[in-house]
Amino acid sequence: DAGVTQSPTHLIKTRGQHVTLRCSPISGHKSVSWYQQVLGQGPQFIFQYYEKEERGRGNFPDRFSARQFPNYSSELNVNALLLGDSALYLCASSLDDGGADTQYFGPGTRLTVL
Amino acid sequence: KNEVEQSPQNLTAQEGEFITINCSYSVGISALHWLQQHPGGGIVSLFMLSSGKKKHGRLIATINIQEKHSSLHITASHPRDSAVYICAVGTYKYIFGTGTRLKVLA
């Protein structure tokens, strides 16, 4: 079985642009979480989606949005990019919503904002 | 103060040494996770713990719920163990520790 996949792997954008990152969870997993990891720091939680509904949101501005599709894949959108949005964006999937469930991480998308 | 603290931040060991990484947390949890992150960025889940001790190969993880403390041990360390080790608590929303950068020298 394929693990969590993310696309693209790398992306370079300029300030003010918009970006869409994509994530496909492990087959059968219904929950997708997004994290931002700035260089040298630990990941920070952005969103969780379960059954196409937002179940959790971290302390990120409204420029960040996400959605989950009927096949449980997910997109993370960031508008009006800032230099500080440069980071590794990680997607993780798990079977269920909440509970003591292991999250499985994708390889990440490295976003550079110039 | 972070809700999840790890020590040490950096660790250099000689091949074959026994390694311990510690994690303390201040929030109530249902599970604690140990993760491994390699330089390329990918994160691999090593253990999920809610009580006691788990072992997988040369890796051992323990947790003391009353003391809100967990340890990750690596026996007979090897250069391929070089990575950042992160503890995280939570369910759908992980709260990550600060990470321990481990380098094992041949």
| Separation CA A66–CA B20 (nearest Å) | 38
Nearest to A81 by CA among A59, A44, A112, A58: A112
Q: What is the pLDDT of residue A103?
A: 87
Asked if A38 and A49 count as a contact pair (C-beta separation under 8 A), the reply is: no
Asked if A19 and A13 count as a contact pair (C-beta separation under 8 A), the reply is: yes
Nearest to A79 by CA among A63, A57, A58, A67: A63
CB contact, 8 Å: B1 with chain A?
no
> B71 vs chain A: nearest CA distance in angstroms?
18
Q: Write the residue in B40, B48, B97 that is nearest to A42 by C-beta.
A: B97
The dihedral over CA atoms of A31, A61, A88, B5, expressed in degrees to the nearest 10, equals: -80
Confidence class of residue A12 from pLDDT cuts 50, 70 and 90?
Answer: very high
> A24 vs chain B: nearest CA distance in angstroms?
15
Q: What is the pLDDT of residue A16?
A: 97
Rg (CA), chain B: 13
Judged by DSSP in three states, A83 sits in helix
Asked if B85 and B72 count as a contact pair (C-beta separation under 8 A), the reply is: yes
B86/A58 Cβ within 8 A: no
Nearest to B13 by CA among B57, B75, B95: B75
Judged by DSSP in three states, B57 sits in coil
Nearest to A92 by CA among A26, A21, A44, A39: A26
Q: What is the pLDDT of residue B28?
A: 80
> Using the 8-state DSSP alphabet, how is residue A25 labeled?
P
| Separation CA A87–CA A27 (nearest Å) | 27
Confidence class of residue A2 from pLDDT cuts 50, 70 and 90?
Answer: confident
Mean pLDDT, chain B, integer: 92
Percent of chain A past pLDDT 90, that is, above it, reads 81
Mean pLDDT, chain A, integer: 92
B30/A102 Cβ within 8 A: no
Structure-token pair, residue B80? 């391929």
pLDDT higher than 60, residue A99? no
pLDDT higher than 80, residue A61? yes
Percent of chain B past pLDDT 70, that is, above it, reads 98
User: Most A CBs within 10 Å: which of B92, B94, B96, B100, as the mutation test of the A interface?
Assistant: B92
Structure-token pair, residue A12? 């370079």
> B82 vs chain A: nearest CA distance in angstroms?
16
Confidence class of residue A100 from pLDDT cuts 50, 70 and 90?
Answer: low
* pLDDT tens-digit map of A29-39: 999 999 999 98
φ, ψ for residue B79 (rounded to 5)? Answer: -55, -30
Average pLDDT on A81-96 reads 93
Q: Write the residue in B40, B48, B93 that is nearest to A33 by C-beta.
A: B93
Q: What is the pLDDT of residue B40?
A: 76
CB contact, 8 Å: B28 with chain A?
no
Q: What is the pLDDT of residue A95?
A: 86
Confidence class of residue A101 from pLDDT cuts 50, 70 and 90?
Answer: confident
Nearest to A65 by CA among A34, A40, A96, A91: A34
